[in-house]
C-alpha cells in the first residue's frame, strides 16, 4: 500500500470512526433516555392505584360533630399494602359528646391504640381492623378487649368520613376525618 493510499484509508477510517462514535454515543443516549422513560412508565403501570394510595396515606384526626378530637389514624405504605396505627382518646371528667365544646377542650386522660390489620384500599374506601384493649383491668364480665372494624370513605382533598363498628354497638360511630 502506498503512503498516499494509506493516508486516504486512515483519513476515511478516522472520519468514519468519528462519525460512528458520535452515532453510537447518540444512539446510546437515546436508548438510555427511552429506557429510563420506559422504566418509569412501567413502574407507573405497575401501580394503578398510586393516586388512591397517596390519597389515604398520612395522619388523620377524627372529630365528633361537636369538634372534639377523639382519635388519630395514621396510614403508611407497607410493601404492596398499608400499615399504620389507630389511637383513641378518653377525656377527664364528664364530656357530653352531643353538645358543642364551651371553653378550652378537656384534658386527655387515656390514650389507647392498636396497629392496623387487614388494611386495604378498594376504590375510594379504605378498610381496616384494630384490636382495642382496656387500658386497665376490664370491668367485671367484660372481655379484655374487642375488635373494631373501620371504614374510611374519602370525600375529597384532605377530608374523609370514618365509620367504626364494634360488636357490642348496634350502630357504627361516624366521625369526620381531616388529614394533618
Quote the domain boundaries for residue 59: 50-179
Instruction: State the total domains in the chain.
Output: 2
CATH code at position 59: 2.40.128
pTM value?
A: 0.66
Question: Same domain, yes or no, for 54 and 41?
Answer: no
pLDDT at 31: 29
Q: Which CB contacts under 8 angstroms, 24+ apart, belong to 3-6?
A: none
Task: Please state, in angstroms and rounded to a whole number, the distance separating the CA atoms of residues 52 and 119.
Answer: 14
Helix/strand/coil (H/E/C) assignment for every residue in 96-140? CCCCCCCCCCCCEEEEEEEECEEEEEECCEEEEEEEEECCCCCCC
- Which 3 state secondary structure label does DSSP give 57? coil
Q: What is the pLDDT of residues 92-144, one digit of tens each?
A: 877 777 777 777 778 888 888 899 999 999 998 999 999 988 777 878 888 88
Q: 3 and 42 in one domain?
A: yes
Q: How does pLDDT run across 5-59, given as a tens digit for each residue?
A: 444 444 443 343 433 332 322 232 332 233 334 333 333 332 334 456 788 999 9
Answer yes or no: do 111 and 167 share one domain. Answer: yes
Domain match, 61 and 140 both:
yes
Convert 73-93 into a string of H (helix), E (strand) and C (coil): EEEEEECCEEEEEEEEEEECC
Amino acid at each position: 500500500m502506498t503512503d498516499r493510499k494509506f493516508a486516504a484509508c486512515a483519513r476515511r477510517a478516522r472520519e468514519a470512526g468519528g462519525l460512528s462514535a458520535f452515532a453510537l454515543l447518540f444512539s446510546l443516549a437515546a436508548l438510555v433516555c427511552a429506557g429510563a422513560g420506559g422504566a418509569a412508565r412501567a413502574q407507573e403501570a405497575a401501580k394503578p392505584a398510586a393516586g388512591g394510595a397517596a390519597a389515604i396515606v398520612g395522619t388523620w384526626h377524627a372529630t365528633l360533630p361537636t369538634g372534639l378530637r377523639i382519635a388519630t389514624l395514621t396510614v403508611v405504605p407497607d410493601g404492596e399494602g398499608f400499615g399504620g396505627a389507630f389511637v383513641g382518646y378518653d377525656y377527664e371528667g364528664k364530656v357530653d359528646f352531643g353538645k358543642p365544646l364551651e371553653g378550652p377542650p378537656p384534658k386527655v386522660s387515656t390514650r389507647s391504640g392498636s396497629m392496623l390489620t387487614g388494611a386495604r384500599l378498594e376504590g375510594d374506601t379504605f378498610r381496616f381492623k384494630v384490636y382495642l384493649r382496656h387500658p386497665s383491668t376490664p370491668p367485671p364480665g367484660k372481655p379484655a378487649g374487642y375488635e373494631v372494624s373501620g371504614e374510611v370513605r374519602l370525600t375529597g382533598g384532605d377530608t374523609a368520613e370514618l365509620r367504626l363498628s364494634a360488636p357490642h354497638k348496634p350502630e357504627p360511630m361516624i366521625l369526620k376525618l381531616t388529614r394533618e
